[in-house]
Chains A and B, each alone.
Chain A
Amino acid sequence: AQSVSQHNHHVILSEAASLELGCNYSYGGTVNLFWYVQYPGQHLQLLLKYFSGDPLVKGIKGFEAEFIKSKFSFNLRKPSVQWSDTAEYFCALNSGGYQKVTFGTGTKLQVIP
């Protein structure tokens, strides 16, 4: 069975601080990895995804994530957060060829002006 763990449930940062949100997964085979963002009152939007190739993936709004296979991790990073990044961030995966997506429990990010 596949699972996703996000250990930080709530993160508070000041504007311009650097961000790193942890994501670890459990699955023995090939995985596709995703980060979704849910802004207050809005639906989930895809931030970035990793299927194969370069393990450093760049997404929208200055976000990036690094796939480290040996650590089963896919951490999300941003060098300098803005107030508008306040949202909930979900790490997710599906296994190659299988469409069910498994989500982590989410990390709520609050950026203080």
Chain B
Amino acid sequence: NAGVMQNPRHLVRRRGQEARLRCSPMKGHSHVYWYRQLPEEGLKFMVYLQKENIIDESGMPKERFSAEFPKEGPSILRIQQVVRGDSAAYFCASSSERADTQYFGPGTRLTVL
């Protein structure tokens, strides 16, 4: 699971700015998942992507949040016009085509001032 890379590890933004979080899946994995962990809470599913496709975005807030996983390059979770309530740890996970087990990255801790 050390193969899932996320950057940056820590991100500080002021209210109204944009946050871009990157995730490079483990080598050979084509499925990416994003989760959010709020303080004192468990991880909540946000979105599930395969290359160039959003498969399930049922956990994504309806506004300001978007995700992509282009043919080339990392998956991006984008949060526009951040608010204090967006402060959380955002974890990316990846899995293989069999997609039975997800392996997690180190997370990006977003702080909104």
Give the A-B contact count at a CB cut-off of 8 A: 55
Overall SS of chain A's interface: strand
Contact of A99 among B43, B56, B103 (CB under 8 A): B56
Size bracket, chain B contacts: 20 to 34
State the CA gap A45–B93 with chains docked (Å): 11
CB distance from B110 to the nearest CB of A (A): 15
Contact of A103 among B44, B55, B99 (CB under 8 A): B44
State the CA gap A92–B31 with chains docked (Å): 18
State the CA gap A28–B13 with chains docked (Å): 42
CB distance from B36 to the nearest CB of A (A): 11
Q: Mark A18-56, 1 if CB is under 8 A from B, else 0.
A: 000000000000001010100000111110010100000
Footprint of A on B, CB under 8 Å?
Answer: 1, 31, 33, 35, 41-45, 48, 55-56, 58-59, 91, 93, 95, 99-107
Footprint of B on A, CB under 8 Å?
Answer: 4, 6, 32, 34, 36, 42-46, 49, 51, 90, 92, 99-106
